[in-house]
Structure 1
């Protein structure tokens, strides 16, 4: 975490930020957040992230007493005060202090600048393993703070040498716990269409692909894919080379996946030129 954050309506020392222990974000796990990157002192795709954050607040009935313009101004001030050439910003809106300790109330907005560490180069070069999990995330189109299941299950991943899980239900896959999922078959990129968070990296990756299908994806066809990969703000694009005990394709990162990664890196440079 960087030295300065936004809390209680002002820029403060990050170590002094606090929340009431009876806030719904604490006692019920009810709140929303979003996370975006800073590249060359510029927040990457900020409008897209603000669209999602503002939309999440509306869908969860949490008042957000700041306009888009004000949020951008706060991010700019935090960028300057923390010298945020590269890094991440975590925006969090808590569930608030509820009279009945259950209904959504007026919460607190925090914006924390953070140091950002990407996955190791080895994971990009060799790919990662996912473990299948029979589950659909509640309120999948909202970026809530409720990560109880994957946090609990992550102990299993570590024991089995996996990076994350692949959620599926009734034979249909949806997403990873913190990433969107894609497969490649015969040169066509295919990604699930429902029960997912509409990722911002996913959104911009889709613009870079010529042959793409957005539709239900079965677990069976995922295991038989030529390539697979996940996308997220903190990973960009990671090739998936194994799901459970099944190798994907030849067990190595594929040319389509890695080509998309290179295109995204070029796009990133293009949109962050000073």
Structure 2
């Protein structure tokens, strides 16, 4: 049975959706869930597929603990997915070094450490897929650390692709506005109005792109960032509203 390592497998949203998709596709999943979501463990169930999910609770910012966990894993993994992340709104006039450092540790250093720790366990031609965000393409107002680290990951997958010599394909999936527990907020409603598909994405749709990158159909995709945002990042917001003022109802 093929096996995959999913960092953030138990995290609500994309992490859980990725885990569910791999289980549905017949994989055994070695996954992690951050201590922050400990209560989610009891609710995290996929019925008959549960026996193929091996979930480990840990602190993703403690890279020594993460490395120790990886060292205990079996020797043949089909690939690795990093779906864990850290996001915090920041006051630009009150710089918090601890927020910056935690963002670096989880969003950027964690994928790098995981690659080096687990690459010897990944079968030849396997995959490393890192879930990122479209915020990595643009400047941020209140989440500088998050946006900067996501931009770093987009470069990191290119660099890993350069040095992996084809043994592991490294790619990223940049998600746009995805529905979930906070999608009733007004900012999510604004994103619906801006996105060409006129809706939020579903975590399962991001998981579908992750599944594609794990498949034989993606064997020549390497060092790339695939965007799953409903067209959001292709919109000039001012131009959109200028157009709509000229052609109301369009």
TM-score, normalised to structure 1, is: 0.22
Larger strand fraction of residues: 1
Question: Highest CA radius of gyration, 1 or 2?
Answer: 1
Q: TM-score, length-normalised on structure 2?
A: 0.24
Higher helix fraction: Structure 1 or Structure 2? 2
